[in-house]
Amino acid sequence: MCDTLVAVGPATADGSVIVAKNSDREPNEAQALTYLPRAQHAPGISVQCTYIQVPQVEETCQVLLARPFWMWGGEMGANEHGVTIGNEAVFTREPYEKGPGLTGMDMIRLALERSTSARQALDTIVELLAAHGQGGNCGFQHALYYHNSFIIADPREAWVLETVGQFWAAERVRDVRTISNGLTIGHEWDLASPGLVEHAIEKGWCSSAATFHFADCYSDLIYTRLGGCRTRQRRSTELLEAQQGHITPATMMAALRDHGPQAAADPGWNPGRGLLMETLCVHASFGPTRTAQSVNGMVAHLSSNQPTYWLTGTSATCTSIFKPLYLGAGQAGLPDRSILGPEPAGAGDAESLWWTHERLHRAVIRDYATRMPLYRQERDALEAAFLHEASERRETFRQEPPTEEGQSALAFTTSCFQRAAEATARWTESVLSTPVQHRPPLLFSLAWNQFDRQAGLR
């Protein structure tokens, strides 16, 4: 379960395109930040994706991915041309392919590796769908099958692409647009697969072309409702529409941290409330309807002179801090392993970025009302400093000339990650030393005790 947001042109404060996504997956499903350099490939070879092989292309782009540690593809990412993609699981009436196929995450990586524009990335995904289909288990500890929707953007435009098996519809974004875990395209679209309407009529999901509505015809209403996606999508749209013409990366970061209007008005709010996944920053809990949570957050500021990619690299966006990353000529993208630690896996470790932050996150949610205020103000000030410094440096972080400016951008990225790590250590000590005063609901606590045991943290 996820949420992806985009604002284009006149909707943003500077006329840029800004994309944001929370990646929602199982609580112990650590997410790795992965950098892929530009590469040449021999003719005729294949590339192994999560489950199947597909023909490789002669050259692949430089790519930054936020990737579930056990998957080949990524939940969200960008490439050196500013192409940025986030996907959503969508639940439909069309049967899911449970055998090997391309996952939505595979399609994101393949499109980023092979595209220089958002439209080319869209075309790449639909070509992959036609050639290979989508399928395979996408769950970590619990099997999960679904189809995919995407927001695909570059510094000039953005598209929503929604798929149902090998059928699809696409809509160009005019101002702001958000997607969650349900189909959203209705009576109108800009592009569509052949036979889209005719297939729905044949299945009896609508009576004629005149009554066809993509989301109404193809959605599986039970899973769509239980996933809470309609509430989340309405909320994300409201947040962006309220800021039309003034949207900045900070606007998007705040949206990804949103717990809904009730939490905004209640200082005693805690993440144990609620049965469904109805908040943008979602926290896992007990039972089948809250099995996932936000395990990574991304905001891509696709300015024309130098895109900046802000990622938490850690779970629970509300407890995390966004750090800047860059792509382009001479820019290596990620700090080295002395800063990030080893790539995370599905069990706790004391060294990786993702699991180091989990000590803080899991302590905070044991008493959110008391513990989150201990460092929220300092976190916000540090993040604001990163944003200010990035804005001031943007003119020097161009893609040309390649080497010196690339090193400068990476040095700035490394500095931000180091400062964030030092702050996280302080915040963790402060939170752990503060006694719990307001315990969350019992079932929420029991669920997190179990998640901790499964990760080897208890």
Q: How many domains is the chain partitioned into structurally? A: 1
* pLDDT of 157 over the 50 cut: yes
Find the catalytic residue in 2, 61, 138, 217.
Answer: 2
> What confidence category does residue 10 fall into, taking pLDDT thresholds of 50, 70 and 90?
very high
pLDDT tens column, 268-290:
899 998 888 899 999 999 888 88
Are the C-beta atoms of 149 and 179 separated by less than 8 Å?
yes
How deeply is 44 buried, as exposed, middle or buried, from its count of CB atoms within 10 A (0-12, 13-18, 19+)? Answer: exposed
Are the C-beta atoms of 283 and 264 separated by less than 8 Å?
no
Report which residue type is found at 250.
Answer: A
Q: Residue 14 corresponds to which tokens in the numbers above?
A: 């500077």
Domain that holds residue 437: 2-454
**Which pLDDT does position 400 carry in this prediction?**
44
Q: State pTM to two decimals.
A: 0.95
- The residue among 396, 418, 395, 391 whose CA lies nearest residue 407 is 396
Are the C-beta atoms of 307 and 301 separated by less than 8 Å?
yes
Mean pLDDT across 18-27:
97
pLDDT tens column, 181-237:
999 999 999 999 999 999 999 999 999 999 999 999 999 988 888 888 999 999 999
> What confidence category does residue 252 fall into, taking pLDDT thresholds of 50, 70 and 90?
very high
> What confidence category does residue 12 fall into, taking pLDDT thresholds of 50, 70 and 90?
very high
Q: Is 218 helix (H, G, I), strand (E, B) or coil?
A: helix
Peptide bond into 441 cis (omega under 30): no
- The residue among 14, 31, 5, 44 whose CA lies nearest residue 358 is 31
* pLDDT of 397 over the 70 cut: no
Mean pLDDT across 298-317:
94
Least confident of 122-126, 169-173, 204-208: 204-208
276 to 127, 191, 272, 295, 456: CA distances (angstroms):
35, 33, 11, 17, 27
Q: Is 2 a catalytic residue?
A: yes
pLDDT tens column, 23-46:
999 999 999 999 999 999 999 999
Are the C-beta atoms of 51 and 98 separated by less than 8 Å?
no
**Which pLDDT does position 402 carry in this prediction?**
45
* pLDDT of 405 over the 80 cut: no
- The residue among 5, 20, 21, 28 whose CA lies nearest residue 292 is 28
User: Which residue do the tokens 């944003």 mark?
Assistant: 387
* 116 Cβ contact list (under 8 Å, min separation 6): 61, 81, 83
Q: What DSSP letter does each residue of 316-378 carry, written as one string?
A: -GGG---EEE--STT---S--HHHH-SPP-SS--SSSHHHHHHHHHHHHTTSHHHHGGGTHHH
pLDDT tens column, 365-379:
999 999 999 999 999
How deeply is 143 buried, as exposed, middle or buried, from its count of CB atoms within 10 A (0-12, 13-18, 19+)? Answer: exposed
* 404 Cβ contact list (under 8 Å, min separation 6): 330
CATH number of 53's domain: 3.60.60.10
Torsion of CA 422, 425, 426, 428, to 10 degrees: 150
Strands 63-68 and 59-60: unpaired
Are the C-beta atoms of 41 and 58 separated by less than 8 Å?
yes
> What confidence category does residue 119 fall into, taking pLDDT thresholds of 50, 70 and 90?
very high
Least confident of 62-71, 163-172, 222-231: 222-231
Are the C-beta atoms of 310 and 381 separated by less than 8 Å?
no
Helices (H) and strands (E) in the chain, counts: 14, 18
**Which pLDDT does position 399 carry in this prediction?**
46
Q: Is 237 helix (H, G, I), strand (E, B) or coil?
A: helix
Dump strand ranges (E) for 307-443: 308-311, 323-325
Mean pLDDT across 426-450:
95
* pLDDT of 404 over the 60 cut: no
